[in-house]
Amino acid sequence: MEVSRPTLAGTLVDDAAIAGGRLGDYVALLKPRVMSLVVFSGFAGLYVAPGSIHPFLALVAVLCIAVSAGAAGAINMWYDRDIDAAMSRTKGRPIPAGRVLPDEALAFGVTLSLFSVMVMGLAVNWVAAGLLAAASLFYVFVYTMWLKRRTPQNIVIGGAAGAFPPMIGWAAVTGSVSVESVVLFAIIFMWTPPHFWALALYREGDYAKAGVPMLPVVAGKAVTRRQMLAYTVALVPLSLLPSLLGSAGLLYGLVAAVASVCFVLLALRVLRDHSDRAARQMFGYSILYLFVIFTFLIIDRTAGGMAFWPVPVMG
Amino acid sequence: MPRDDRQNGDLHRQRRLKNWALLAVLLAFVILVYFVSIIRMGGGS
């Protein structure tokens, strides 16, 4: 007999959910696509940090960052199951689709969060563990529960949660927070608004239907396009700071300058071209941008880095 | 096979698969703790 029950979110729960869902559903709860960028930026922070760490402990640190990000994603899916059910992009997720029970998703997320923070603290260091806990708590309580449904600035402030990974990676090696790691944080923080607003521009209807006050829904698309441009312009000098501070070299500086200028040009294009296609391309490029920036940080570090400014020889 | 039996079979298979996955995760965790302990006690950081 097939059993379907209405849930609080108004979705149906079937026998599969009561049995505990399939393995793939639990993997989907961890938002693996989002996790890849988090893991990569966390690894980059760890790799470019001055000092050394045992390769196995580095692996554990990256694993903890990945699991913690995934766990926060699972808690986010638990809390947002009502709006996920209303949006075409998210209605196939395990909870709104009725394949995993909400309480089970919450337990899964909380357990993994606690485990990842504890393992990071015991295996690596407690500064990295503290930052990891702060990132999770910020994402769940500040972004998901407080800001997301209340203000169009949700992803501006909430973006801080996604900006933590390179700082956590850095702290895993150095045991501290420094200006260089804050710069890596700031790059992702400043990158987040144009990234999400590009998505919101062509998914505006979805967000409006779900009652999420994204900027295009509340202030209109014209304002959103102008704000996107402002953030991409602010990102240009910020992306060059690692070279200016000496944590990266000339190669990174050149690539970051070109990539950032391209980002600005795409934002200008979105300002003039009001098609979904332009917004989609900007969204796609934003993901590529972050991968390129952090890839070249890694390459530059591997190559030894060449000073951005000529260093005078004293003697 | 009647539909109910087939569905029960599917549910049991899913549950068994999940149990095996959980066992694998627990074993991996034990191995991880073992190696972390060895490295930390050996002065590696």
Beta bridge partners, A6, equal A12
* A28-37, A124-133, A227-236: segment of lowest average pLDDT: A28-37
ipTM of this complex prediction, to 2 decimal places: 0.79
Q: How far is B8 from chain A (nearest CA, A)?
A: 9
* A110-114, A149-153, A232-236: segment of lowest average pLDDT: A149-153
pLDDT band of residue A247 (cuts 50, 70, 90) is: confident
SS (H, E, C) B1-45: CCHHHHHHHHHHHHHHHHHHHHHHHHHHHHHHHHHHHHHHHCCCC
Between chains, do A57 and B39 touch, taking CB under 8 Å as contact? yes
Give the pLDDT mean for A91-99.
93
Terminal alpha carbon distance of chain A: 87
B4, B35, B45 member nearest A53 (Cβ): B45
Q: Has residue A9 got a pLDDT over 50?
A: no
User: Across all residues in chain A, what is the average pLDDT?
Assistant: 89
pLDDT for A87: 87
- Measured between beta carbons, the chain B residues lying within 8 angstroms of A123 are 32, 36, 40
Percent of the residues in chain A that have a pLDDT greater than 70, as a whole number: 90
Residue tagged 């549910």 (tokens): B11
Where do runs of H (alpha helix) occur along chain A?
15-19, 23-29, 32-48, 55-79, 81-86, 102-123, 126-137, 154-174, 179-202, 204-210, 215-218, 221-245, 250-272, 276-303
pLDDT tens readout for residues A263-308? 999 999 999 999 999 999 999 999 999 999 999 999 998 887 544 4
- Measured between beta carbons, the chain B residues lying within 8 angstroms of A122 are 36
Q: How far is B45 from chain A (nearest CA, A)?
A: 5
pLDDT band of residue A15 (cuts 50, 70, 90) is: low
Between chains, do B32 and A54 touch, taking CB under 8 Å as contact? no
Between chains, do A15 and B44 touch, taking CB under 8 Å as contact? no
DSSP reduced 3-state for A92: coil
Q: Which residue of B lies nearest to A116 if distances are taken between CA atoms?
A: B29
CB interface of A with B, residues 104-143, below 8 Å:
119, 122-123
pLDDT tens readout for residues A163-219? 999 999 999 999 999 999 999 999 999 999 999 999 999 988 888 888 889 999 999
Backbone angles phi, psi at A221, to 5 degrees: -75, -35
A38, amino acid identity: V
A20, A57, A119 member nearest B18 (Cβ): A20
CA–CA–CA angle A305, A309, A311 (5° rounding): 90
Between chains, do A60 and B11 touch, taking CB under 8 Å as contact? no
